[in-house]
Chain A
Amino acid sequence: MEKFQEILNDSWDFYRRTLILVAKGSKLYYAWCLSLLAIIIVGFIFYLKQHEVGLIATNMNDQVSWGLYIANFTYLVGAAAAAVLLVVPSYVYQFKPIKEIVVLGELFAASSVMMAVLFVMVDLGRLDRFWHMLPFIGSMNFPQSLLAWDVIALNGYLILNIFIPVYLLVNFYYRKKPNWKFILPFILLSIPWAVGIHTVTAFLYNGLPARPFWNASILAPRFLASAFCSGPAIIIIIFQIIRKVSDIKLENEALFKIAELIAYAMFLNLFLLGSELYKEYYSHSIHMAPVEYLFEGLHGHNLLVPWIWAAMAMNVMAFFIFMIPQTRKRLSILNLGCLLVIVGVWIEKGPGFVIPGFIPDPLGEIHEYIPNLLELMVSFGIWALGLLVFTLLMKVAIPIETGKFTHTDYEKGVTAFRPH
């Protein structure tokens, strides 16, 4: 009983101090958090309207029945997968701040998966029936429906990526050495699981013969290749922000290594895309209509054409930036490359992937889709929520990692001691 009381006191103390930690920050920190909060509120108000009148409030329709929400979902699953996959090269290249990278990568993955799940939830017509999808409680169509697989894969990944960093951070907080024998299997499990979530998400589209654009066996590899571009690009930017605002030391060399990795991934991504384009254009069957719609326009409908060509240009430019050592080793150009990849892959794999699947529709109808204001606002709201959650997680995780935020008993101890 006394022990329990102690744990209760300890955790109360932790929460209290966490709140103080989160509430205190520079002016920039306040401005950042408050603007995110404002975007979240605006997004939420727009969502309430959608919830009230139904999905008619969006620009989706019977022809293009998935839109911006599912596009964002697809992209974020990739980002989440890549964040953890980054742990592998970190091990291979023996980065010194490996433990920070594990924790950071996994918290980033958790935030991304959370956003991905939210994008599915706002896309559901009947959010009130969400529980029908839950295993044991509802009636899940497992293993038949790939969406059921995705519910399990994404939630499992989310739990894994919350459990691992929390376990490590709690240990660091108490200045204890984490039991690596216990936690390492989970970290190792998170790596194939990361491949899993993205593969399952690719298969979700892949298994539909009604949609020839998605019914290509190259889809899952393409998904992984593009995720290996956008995920690390986001991480490079985040690393730089973190080392600016905290004491975590990250050498440029580490960033350049990641950039090199992006070059390989981008090569693979462009190669796979090229293979697909070759097959479509050389065989020239009627099933290439969606590709034609995307790259050239179909019967005068060409809303996506400028977007996909912009994405192609960005991806190719980024490829050269990351491939040539002289350019990738200049931080300003490196960051430009990251930005190009983040946006380029988003277009290619988000709207550029989801929308052409519906155009033309199975009965040959061409109905163009472009998201409306409500869809944009709800999407911004979810992105802002993800960023806010990630920011707050970092605000607590980084001081624990650097040994600045520990249990009070150890406060008086050696402050220079680092947990690893």
Chain B
Amino acid sequence: MQNKRYTRREFIRNLSLTTLAGLSLPLLSSCAKEEVEDFLQKHFHEMTEEEKKRVIAKLEQRYLQKYGRKFQISTKEALPDTLWGYGLELSRCIGCRRCVYACVKENNHSRHDPQLHWIRVLRLKRGNLINLENSEHYYDPDLVPEKGFIYLPVQCQQCQNPPCVKVCPVHATWQEPDGIIAVDYNWCVGCRYCIAACPYKGRVFNWTEPNIPKEEINPSVHYLGNRPRMKCAVEKCTFCIQRVRSGRYPACVEACPTGTRKFGNLLDPNSEIRYIIDRKRVFRLKEDLNTEPKFYYFFEA
């Protein structure tokens, strides 16, 4: 056997290699590993149940660290024989924007610079309805409703024929069996083609890392809905997927003080929304574009 002598060069080499390995180990095992995992995460539809569970566990851990709360992240699937539809009685809306802020809170929107909204309330001079060019999005009076104006809340219309799904280059957005248009926030590449394609401005973009104060977080979330999002991915109203799939109303419906907002299953002949379609005068925004929204505006019969 050769007599092994430790030369100085070998010593330095081994020392530096060990240091390097020692330094990179925690990096590799925690931060880098997670980043690699995030990077390689599959499309939601391509994940097995096992993989979904792992991703959920990872997210719960991450949210716990960031917000100090235990999250329940649901991946509950669509209920059978369900197609959600929404009704909004224009003659009742007073433009108070309670729905807007209920949505911000329920759906964990970024709060500052900029604050994201999934609902926009447009103020129109009486005499206008279709030409939105003269609408005011940022009206701010002391008291609503204002004389001479009507209010038109707009959010994702959950089109049955959605242009946004058609244009997405990577299948990051799709229609769920219950008609909700969902987004896989982890698959979106941030090209914003869907924003260009949407005739209702139903989609908003996280232009920077969203921020939510710890005490305002809503820890009861759905993976395809109101879980805290990340920077530079697109998002939109999901009819509160986390609520409606567990038998609750969307937050905006609950928050409305005037009963303007109605919600129900279009396939159930006894539902509220079917009652409205049958008995009231309904119309949908931009019907000429053939997007087939499941969002019905209506007036008293």
Contacts and interface: CB of A to CB of B under 8 A. Distances in A.
Contact of A126 (B43, B131, B168, B188): B188
Nearest to A148: B169
B205 interface: yes
B148 to A, nearest CB: 18
B169 A54 contact: no
Contact of B137 (A120, A145, A147, A363): A363
Interface centre among B39, B134, B191, B195 (most CB of A within 10 A): B191
A125 B231 contact: yes
A208 B167 contact: yes
A110 to B, nearest CB: 23
Contacts of B120: 363
A-B CB proximity, top 6 nearest: A125-B190, A125-B232, A364-B132, A210-B199, A147-B169, A56-B207
A66 B170 contact: no
Contacts of A55: 190, 205, 207-208, 232
Contacts of A53: 208-209
Interface in A94-150: 120, 123-126, 128-130, 132-133, 138-141, 144-148
Q: Is the interface of B mostly helix, strand, loop or mixed?
A: loop
Interface string B147-167: 000000010000000010011
Interface string A252-292: 00000000000000000000000000000000001001000
A360 B131 CA distance: 11
B104 interface: no
13 contacts: A62-B204, A65-B195, A124-B190, A133-B189, A140-B169, A140-B171, A209-B199, A210-B197, A210-B289, A286-B133, A362-B132, A362-B200, A364-B134
A125 B189 contact: yes
B233 A62 contact: no
State which size class the interface on A falls in. Answer: 35 or more
Contact of A357 (B170, B196, B200): B196
Contacts of B193: 145, 147, 204
A363 B189 contact: no
B189 A66 contact: no
B192 A125 contact: yes
Interface in B191-220: 191-193, 195-201, 204-209
Interface SS of chain A: loop
Interface of A: 53-56, 60-62, 65-66, 120, 123-126, 128-130, 132-133, 138-141, 144-148, 151, 204-205, 207-211, 286, 289, 357-358, 360-365
A201 to B, nearest CB: 13
Interface size bucket, B side? 35 or more
B242 interface: no
A321 to B, nearest CB: 36
B196 A211 contact: yes
Given A65-B192, A138-B170, A209-B199, A125 B233 contact: yes
A54 B197 CA distance: 22
A406 B195 CA distance: 53
Contacts of A204: 193
B163 A65 contact: no
Contacts of B232: 54-55, 125-126
Contact of A54 (B39, B43, B137, B207): B207
Contact of A146 (B167, B204, B205): B167
Contacts of B252: none
Contacts of B204: 62
Nearest to B170: A132
A362 B201 contact: yes
B122 interface: yes
B246 to A, nearest CB: 29
Nearest to B137: A365
Contacts of A364: 122, 131-135
B43 A363 contact: no
A140 B171 CA distance: 7
